[in-house]
Structure 1
Amino acid sequence: MWLEILLASVLGFVIYWFISRDKEETLPLEDGWWGPGAKPAAREDESIRPFKVETSDEEIKDVHQRIDKFRLTPPLEDSRFHYGFNATYLKKITSYWRNEFDWKKQVDILNRYPHFKTKIEGLDIHFIHVKPPQLPAGRSARPLLMVHGWPGSFYEFYKIIPFLTDPKNHGLSDEHVFEVICPSIPGYGFSEASSKKGFDSVATARIFYKLMLRLGFQEFYIQGGDWGALICTNMAQLVPSHVKGLHLNMALILRNSFTLTLLLGRRFGGLFGYTERDMELMYPFKEKFLYSIMRESGYMHIQCTKPDTVGCALNDSPVGLAAYILEKFSTWTNAEYRNLEDGGLEKKFSLDELLTNIMLYWTTGTIVSSQRYYKENLGQGWMAHKHERMKVHVPTGFAAFPFELVHVPEKWVKFKYPKLISYSYMARGGHFAAFEEPELLARDIRKFVSLLEHQ
């Protein structure tokens, strides 16, 4: 009888294990057409064309005239950045933009790296492709796709690229040398926007996968934060056999039990797998999660529901556009910067860098299409998409920057990414990791790749 009970128990355990174990699902690799009108019968032109960023005196004159006509609303006394972008500091920015900022010089800086365009699923896709200036004898470069988010651009990666493609000349070893590809999300910057509803992160992931194949890469590494983190996650869910490794500096982990552990974690954090550092970054809960999310997510509700309405105003006023975007570069870099008169913007960035990113939205007229991305991805509600409920079964590295909008503990990351092999508490930095702390992020990417390749 005891033998029968034992055998039944073993059988029950095996059945339970089989049912409950992680199933390595993949998203279906479908197809799409996002250009205007019906998909043409002719085969799509797959050529890769060189592209150059350009400007004109007329374009610059138009910006200056619009800045000159801007109507300023004086801020409340001692309001700092608590009501949004402080108009007194905005006067300094507009003065610099109008009288000192040299857009032609910044265009030359943008053109330091090679730009290209190619048609995929009816859209003209823009990307930069930076190869190493030199390689150690007998070595090959590792292809690395890096994907930006909102309200950023491919320009966010300009400072990190040298640490990846030319590490020896930038204080790092040449054990790992990368070939970096940074595309613009369709509807952002120089990538054509979709003409049709429904263009989401999965469609973007599929397009970027096709881009990598078109460039001749069957296997590659991918890295992202913000929307880039979701797009790269979707790529790993679509084509895991092609993704050698996934590195993230942000993750969207949705699970009801995690919310419960947050409420109890202040007293019983150790029981839930939280480290002392996790506790520092997550508590007090009301301030670090509840109040922070409420304070910083108003833009998201607008863009998830009616992006075109506010977009009309932002696409018509360069100063309005700058205030809307730069406010994020203040509080998303460090929430405490809202207590400063200048929002702390120049602590991590120069005005030239910030205004270059603004000009990429302004000159391409892409603020509306970039905001629509929120409606396409989040407008149906949480957990409405299959990929949100799926795990990711490729080797993963995660960099937890201390001033990210929401801290994600290692235990949470490992739930969604079971093959997590590297989790790092970063010394400093916030949401715009590559733009703020390029060397720190580069070092963590290299650490992840080293751990993966020495397994």
Structure 2
Amino acid sequence: MGKKDKKKEKDVGKEIVKDKKKKSKVVKSEDGIPIITAASAIILIGIAIYGYTVYQDLAQVPEMPELDLNVWWGQNTTEPQDTSIRPYRIVFSDAMESEIRWLFEMYRRPNKKKSFEDTAWNYGVHSEAFAQFFSYWIFKYSFIQRPKFLNKFDHFKTNIQGLDIHYIHVKPNVDANTKVLPLLLLHGWPGSVREFYEAIPLLTTKREGYDFVFEVIVPSLPGFVFSEAPARRGLSPHQMAIIMRNLMHRIGHKQYYVQGGDFGHAVGSNIATIFPNDVLGFHTNLPVNFSKLAYLTWVFGSVWPTFVAGEHVDKLYPFADKVKFLLEEFGYMHLQSTKPDTVGIALQDSPAGLAAYVLDKFMIFTDPANKNDPEGGVQKYFTYDKLLDNIMLHWISGSIATSMRLYKECIADAEVEQVFSQIPTPVPTWGLRFKHELAHSPDFVLKWKYPNLVGTTNVDFGGHFAAFERPEEFSSDVFKAVKAFLSFKK
């Protein structure tokens, strides 16, 4: 091909490209509006609608859902409800002890696989540490004395919405010049009322600088230990909040203070949100805002951590490290949110299995550094008796499966629970922020949910189980918070 032919071919190609560009510029709809401009407008409108939807979902306060305050959770019956308050005692029967000791032997008999020497608790409960714990359980834990200790406080049961609810009730012995304030204490999982045993005497004893003391009510949440489990699905935290409020009314308290951690925080926060006129003040040792906006703030804060977290940067960031911890340690949550009955059967079949499963949570959630300690920090923060009391309460009541169902109910009712997390409560609130708590929210984020956040206490120690691990510091902070609540005006 000659040079002239090549030049002619290039000129033709250029003309075709120009012609296509001209055509693309002038393509219009029947109304004369350029097609590209119309498409851009549609995309922009779509983005605007989506953005407004996200704004409504995250920033706007939803309306309070309509709630039935008398939902029946028990077995269907035509018999009238027994509303009496009945004394209750914890019993470790001879048959229970014989059964558990037989199961101990079943566990001891096979040869066990030992943990790796250099892993400590990074693979879970370390076999050597657990062997010491298990040996104490067999030979030194007193099946005679421990029930006496557990019955040192008055226990009761009463039927609320079809469920027999167990609770401890301790009234202080004080003079007529001392105010007695009702305080509802709410535990979480895998805890129980045992978490508060060391704190109860501290809360019911008058102390210098305070003209009040507490009358303490400590219920077992429905499905936990001696509180009856529901006969049907749906008993999520806000439904438990209604039961706890009705329990307080049954006892005779129309107004009271609430304290909670773990699931106790979720239930207590819902009581304050749904019944703000009942709750005089809310103290939490899990001061976290669980709304979607709070989560997004945490995520975007990874770009500028000090701007979001201030002096608490190490509690929220580096973001990647915190997410890695959650992925590594929260597998149990996924399991219990999907198949609680499956793992429940396995745990109830083996006291050793139940102990290992629960022990792992107490050690790691008290201090993540425990997983690098071959001893696991078992006796560093707790005594064997304290830990075994809690395990035994779950074992003798056969309640581990029903207690874990709360996780699945939270997932099933997540949309409604999220609504409650977005509704601000006017109740005066105080947060106790321990160093190794599993989650944290800066004060300004907490105020989106708790606008009357009276104060927070920040300490450089402690973990997730505040009352169980640090009863003195826990009790002192409750006193300090309630003193602030009494002088607070809504």
Q: TM-score normalized by structure 1?
A: 0.89
User: Is 1:180 matched with 2:216?
Assistant: yes
Using the TM superposition, name which of 320-329 and 419-428 deviates more: 419-428
Which of 144, 149, 153 matches 2:192? Answer: 153
What is the CA distance between 1:22 and its match in structure 2? 6.0
1:215 to 251, 274, 298: 251
Are 2:188 and 1:163 equivalent residues in the alignment? no
Alignment partner, residue 167 of structure 2: 127
Aligned to 2:177: 138
Q: Give the whole-Å Cα distance in 1 for the aligned partners of 2:352 and 2:135.
A: 11
User: Is the CA contact (8 Å cut-off) linking 2:287 and 2:432 kept in structure 1?
Assistant: no
Whether the aligned pair in 1 keeps the contact of 2:61 and 2:423 (CA below 8 Å) is no
Where does residue 99 of structure 2 map in the other structure? 62
**Could you report, residue by residue, the CA deviation over 1:371-411 in whole angstroms, capped at 9, with x for unpaired residues?**
11110112455676532332222111111111001222212
* Cα displacement string for residues 73-119 of structure 1 (whole angstroms, at most 9, x for unaligned residues): 32123121111111121111111111111022111011110000001
User: Are residues 383 and 364 of structure 1, via their aligned partners in 2, closer, same or farther at CA, if it must alter by over 3 Å?
Assistant: same
Partner of 1:282: 316
Match of 1:76 among 116, 121, 146: 116
For 2:199 and 2:396, locate their aligned partners in 1 and report how far apart those are by CA, in whole Å: 24
1:11 paired residue number: none
Q: Does 2:281 correspond to 1:248?
A: no
Unaligned regions of 5+ residues in structure 2, if any?
1-58
Q: Which SS does the other structure have where 2:304 is aligned?
A: helix
| CA displacement at 1:323 relative to structure 2 | 0.2
- 1:27 and 1:238 in contact (8 A); partners too: no
1:422-441 equivalences under 5 Å are 422-441=455-474
Alpha-carbon distance between aligned partners in 1 of 2:197 and 2:368, rounded to the nearest angstrom:
25
CA distance in 1, matches of 2:181, 2:417: 35
On the 8 A contact 1:245/1:396 being kept in 2, the answer is yes
Match of residue 48 from structure 2: none
Matched, 1:347 2:380: yes
Q: 1:271: Cα distance to partner?
A: 3.6
> Structure 1's 254 and 204: CA in aligned 2 closer, same or farther, altered over 3 A?
closer
Please name the residue that 1:16 is paired with.
none
Q: CA deviation at 1:435?
A: 0.5
1:6 corresponds to which residue?
A: none
Against the structure 1 CA distance between its residues 384 and 23, is the aligned structure 2 distance closer, same or farther, given a 3 Å change threshold?
Answer: closer
- 1-structure distance, mates of 2:66, 2:224: 25
The answer to whether residue 152 in structure 2 is matched with residue 112 in structure 1 is: yes
The aligned counterpart of 1:103 is 143
Q: Is the 8 A contact 2:157 2:165 kept in 1?
A: yes
1:63 Cα deviation (Å)?
1.0
Instruction: For 1:89, give the aligned amino acid.
Output: A
Secondary structure at 2:345 match in 1 = helix
Q: Distance in 2 between the 1:261 and 1:118 partners? A: 43
Alignment of 1:305 with 2:338, yes or no, is: yes
Matched, 1:31 2:67: no
More helix by share: 2
Residue equivalent to 2:483: 450
Q: Deviations over 1:143-179 (max 9, x none)?
A: 00000000000010011111110133xxx54423000
Q: Please give the residue correspondences for 1:319-358 in structure 2 after superposition, counting only pairs within 5 Å.
A: 319-358=352-391
* Letter in structure 2 aligned against 1:410: D
Residue 196, structure 1, aligned to residue 232, structure 2: yes
Q: What is the letter of the counterpart of residue 131 of structure 1?
A: K
Q: Which residue identity does 2:80 align to in structure 1?
A: R
Task: Letter of the 2:97 partner, please give it.
Answer: I
Instruction: Measure, in 2, the Cα distance between the counterparts of 1:248 and 1:114.
Output: 25
1:88 aligns with 2:132: no
CA distance in structure 1 between the partners assigned to 2:267 and 2:302 by the alignment: 33
Q: CA deviation at 1:446?
A: 1.2
Query: What is the letter of the counterpart of residue 296 of structure 1?
Result: E
Which 5+ residue runs of structure 1 have no aligned equivalent? 1-19
- 1:188 offset after TM fit, Å? 0.7
Given the alignment, which residue of 212, 215, 236 partners 2:272?
236
Q: 1:29 to 1:391 in 2, by over 3 A?
A: farther
Counterparts of 2:219 and 2:93 in 1: how far apart (Å)? 24
Instruction: For residue 456 of structure 2, give the secondary structure of its aligned residue in structure 1.
Output: strand
Equivalent residue for 2:37?
Answer: none
Displacement after TM superposition at 1:25 (Å)? 4.3
Paired residue for 1:43?
A: 80
**Matched positions, count:** 427
Partner Cα distance (2:192, 2:159) in 1: 19
Partner of 2:114, secondary structure, is coil
**DSSP-derived class of the 1:141 partner:** strand
Residues 23 and 202 (structure 1), Cα distance of their counterparts in 2 relative to 1, 3 Å cut: closer
Secondary structure of the structure 2 residue equivalent to 1:328: helix
- Radius of gyration: which is bigger? 2
In 1, Cα distance between the equivalents of 2:192 and 2:220? Answer: 7
Matched residues, percent identical? 39
RMSD after superposition: 2.0
SS at match of 2:388: helix
Q: Which residue of 2 aligns with 1:394?
A: 427
Q: Paired residue for 1:406?
A: 439
**SS state of the match for residue 438, structure 2?**
coil
Report the Cα offset of residue 260 of structure 1: 4.8
Return the alpha-carbon distance in structure 2 between the equivalents of residues 416 and 90 of structure 1.
41
